[in-house]
Structure 1
């Protein structure tokens, strides 16, 4: 497992934009490692028995336990301090053999110094090495592309090279996938609720679709602004896109409500749409500008604590800007097209009906 973890770390360093790799294996303090000599094995000594004798000699073995008032007192027996201060004392420590005799520890075992384990991590009774990779602010390769490359090519080869190991994307990545699935489902539910509310308020099944036309345009604006700024798309960016959806729908509601209210005052639909765009231009523009101005302090924030807010505010600002353009251009145009289609069916109700056979 350690060799496989080192191989993964070496492979990860070949990707550009890697800032740091954190390893869950923490080196511990130096400790003594015992290894039985052939002489000790011939005498029937086991490494477990040897380790227990050394532990009892230096840490102590409980000889008695009694209560003194409300406190429990333990009496432990171990070698005197003067016999526990030098490595020579350890080598000459008498070891009890299975046949009842004794022998110096140095004659039955070898002693080496080796770094111990600072922490052991396990999952499902298996040892685990967790690697956390940190990228620079604007890496040449996104984390998703690195993940796809590792999953499709490197990890299968690694499992063949080291049989018995299992490679997973980690709890953080799995949790991110679950959050992403929840976000997709909740976004669909929110759009469905908005459609239902607009359908009830305007007593129409087609007009709510016009209100929602600005939503994909706002999402497109968030994607384009990330590409122009050289930022990778993240989960925070998606949250900003979803938040911008409700605001751009409100702009469409303001415009189309004005058109419906003034419908009877205009004979020509084109004049009505132009008048509505001119009349509602100021409030729609002010809503977008005031919202963007409120997000501006977070856009220019450089502290480490608020850096994760930059993708959210960037998506919101770009979504509102592109949504305003869609509200003033795309939504009125589609409204005019929908009105022409409705008028066509009213004038030619049997246009798409096949003539019956006599």
Structure 2
């Protein structure tokens, strides 16, 4: 039997495959990997799709004898396929039902190896009827149940499930480490199924998250016409992400794909807290207030809107964090990341953001304003923040 995928009875939630040109080398390395994988305590079970000790019947054709009797090798193989492979021939359609026509020998005539001797084959010219035992010999043997392939190369696939509390990230790191030590350069190993999806998605999402932060910085820089105010706004993100990851750690949830989606949502929700504070402080600076008073007034006046939007988002994500609904357990990481990140950022943002704002304002006025390229850009009133502050203090 030649199979292009995993056999159904060996399926697990996650899969890891090994393939190469030399089948004997593939099987030998697979045995070594299996021995190492069984030492990992996080596997609920691990098995392969290779069953090397399956009872088989080894049939050897007498090719010279067949040619002498005028019977081709293809005709012999066709006989065996029609007799034992449940060959589908035709579909009979009726008014209310339809029936498949399948050609095979009766069950009572294929229970023992000796039943092969009861088959007869007609010669190519149709004149002679020869028993199969005159054209082939057979003997019991032990061999593989199937010959599995990936991309037309012999392969062995490992299927495993994880124990409760074990994470796919840790299991994937262990498998990658063992494969790096055991698998030679002539063979190829890779994750399949959910494990492959998780590994690729994690790598891509981290890159996408960095790109999202960069895009947010560019948009905020255009909005505020400043290099430093976007940094103040984005300073709310690390505390929120730490809070989301801490929530996963406290409740024992893994950083699944849902958790990464929650991080993206968290970044968008938390960023608006920084925007509310910084935008209000900039408006106060334009009226002549100094940086300390402006950021203080912004934190006090914007506290109620920030608290209201945060509570609305927390209560909206709370049912997800509690795992309500069909398949709610798989979505819990998403809710925990949002709730944990919002709660932590709510308590820390109002203390950290003003401090960062004041330090960056000092850096802007005392360092960047000395060069024309980084000097604060005039706002719609026609004057920069530094100029406004100078006017408020007089000559």
Q: TM-score, normalised by structure 1?
A: 0.69
Q: Which residue of 1 aligns with 2:161?
A: 134
1:110 aligns with 2:138: yes
Unaligned runs of 5+ in 1: 60-77, 350-358
Q: Residue 179 in 1 paired to residue 201 in 2?
A: yes
CA-based RMSD of the aligned residues comes to 4.5
Tell me if structure 2 keeps the 8 A contact 1:255–1:276. yes
Distance 1:340 1:281 in 2: 24
1:253 and 2:275 correspond: yes
What is the aligned counterpart of 1:209 among 226, 231, 250?
231
Aligned: 1:324 with 2:351: no
Q: CA deviation at 1:321?
A: 2.1
Show CA shifts across 1:10-52 (max 9, x none). 432321121243644599x98754247xxx6996889957953
Contact 2:235/2:353 (8 A) holds in 1: yes
Contact 1:58/1:84, CA 8 A, preserved across alignment: no
* Alpha-carbon spacing, 1:272–1:50, altered in 2? closer, same or farther (3 Å): closer
Cα distance in 2, alignment partners of residues 6 and 319 from structure 1: 45
Classify the secondary structure of the residue corresponding to 1:132.
Answer: strand
> Which of residues 286, 295, 299 in structure 2 aligns to 1:273?
295
Report which stretch shifted further, 247-256 or 319-328.
Answer: 319-328
Higher RCO (CA < 8 A, seq sep 6+):
2
Q: Secondary structure at the match of 1:127?
A: strand
The aligned residue for residue 145 of structure 1 is: 170
44 and 328 in structure 1: CA distance in 2 versus 1, 3 angstrom threshold: same
What is the distance in 2 between the residues matched to 1:138 and 1:95? 60
| Partners of 2:277 and 2:295 within 8 A in 1 | no
Specify the alignment match of 1:91 in structure 2: 117
| Pairwise CA distance, 1:270 | 3.4
Shift in CA distance, 248/58, structure 1 to aligned 2, threshold 3 Å:
closer
Q: Distance in 2 between matches of 1:320 and 1:335?
A: 20
Cα deviation, residue 196, structure 1: 2.6
> Within 1, Cα distance between the matches of 2:358 and 2:310?
24
Query: Are the aligned partners of 1:83 and 1:89 in contact in 2 as well (CA < 8 Å)?
Result: no
Distance 2:48 2:111 in 1: 35
Query: What is the total number of aligned residue pairs between the two structures?
Result: 320
Shift of 1:310: 1.5
The Cα shift of 1:333 comes to 0.9
Q: Point out the structure with max Rg over C-alpha.
A: 1
Structure 2: gaps spanning 5 or more residues: 1-25, 85-102, 372-395
TM-score (norm 2): 0.64
Distance change in 2, residues 1:116/1:286 (3 Å) = same
Q: Secondary structure at the match of 1:262?
A: helix
In structure 2, C-alpha distance between the alignment counterparts of 1:135 and 1:156, rounded to whole Å: 22
Most deviating of 336-345 and 308-317: 336-345
